Amino acid sequence: MSVANLSYRAVFALVLKRDLTIAMRHKDDIINPLLFFVIVVTLFPLGIGPEAQTLSRIAPGIIWVAALLSTLLSLDRLFKSDHVDGSLEQMLLSPQPVFILVLAKIVAHWLITGLPLILIAPLLAVLLHLNEQSYGALILTLLLGTPVLSLLGAIGVALTVGIKKGGVLLSLLVLPLYIPVLIFATSAIDTAALGLPYSGQLAIIAALFFGSLTLAPFAVGAALKVSTN
């Protein structure tokens, strides 16, 4: 045995592997948000009627709103269980930088909840008669947008993790931050349907992604310190 200063990459891999192991053994975490996403999207054609034109008109909005809500539903698990069993305290007391630990947890959360959404979204888009030209835009906006949802959501969870029933507060805190992503993503998909370039909207979502990727973990670390106080 030796005392070793772990490289940041090793710490990142350690926490990521742990969270993925836990998720694989606790499959609810993966299945619940995905099932919610599928249910919401499939219910719309039943409620609105199978008319292709109407559906393809509202498809981007439906898919994105469902993705947003299903992320919100899964956010709670990000820090809650670690807080309840004390492992969050242990992480904060470890000599590793909080930034890396938090980033690894958020990446794990995205792999568990965001990635399955992206994989299944094209299938659901078929159900909604999404315009053929929009598929590329749909995948790209989801690829850039869902990590933003996880990153921004993590700030909200970190702030409310110490509160017993913080669910409502979490939605209130996080939803306004999600709105820009929603607006630009759906606008990109609509623009793509018209055959116009949508790189402008995509660039804004990419900016949101890199902005939150670099800044959110700091905010989450600070918020966790307040929450465990």
Partner 1 sequence: MILRYRIIRSKSKNDLHQNKANRVRLDFVRYFQYVKECIFPLSANLAASETDSLAAENQPALLSATNLTCIREERLLFDQLTLEINAGDIVQIEGPNGSGKTSLLRILAGLSQPYNGDVFYKNQLITQSREEFHQNLLYLGHLAGVKDEMTAQENLNFNLTLHGLSIHSSELEETLTLANLTGFEDSLASHLSAGQHRRIALARLYKSTADIWILDEPFTAIDKQGVNSLEQLFKAHIKQGGCVILTTHQDLLTFSPSQVKKITLDYIGE
Binding site for partner 1 (CB under 8 A): 1-6, 11, 14-15, 18, 21-22, 25-26, 84-87, 89-97, 99, 218, 221-222, 225, 228-229
Q: How far is the CB of 147 from partner 1 (least distance, A)?
A: 21
Output the CA torsion sign for 104, 135, 41, 34: negative
Distance, in Å, from the CA atom of 75 to the CA atom of 72, rounded to the nearest integer, reads 5
* CB closer to partner 1, 163 vs 194: 163
Q: How far is the CB of 212 from partner 1 (least distance, A)?
A: 16
- 115 near 197, Cβ under 8 Å? no
Q: How far is the CB of 161 from partner 1 (least distance, A)?
A: 13
What are the distances in angstroms from CA 40 to CA 34, 62, 91, 111, 134?
10, 8, 36, 21, 20
* CB closer to partner 1, 14 vs 115: 14
* CB closer to partner 1, 42 vs 94: 94
* CB closer to partner 1, 5 vs 53: 5
Q: How far is the CB of 4 from partner 1 (least distance, A)?
A: 5
Distance, in Å, from the CA atom of 159 to the CA atom of 229, rounded to the nearest integer, reads 11
Closest CA to 154 of 114, 120, 115: 114
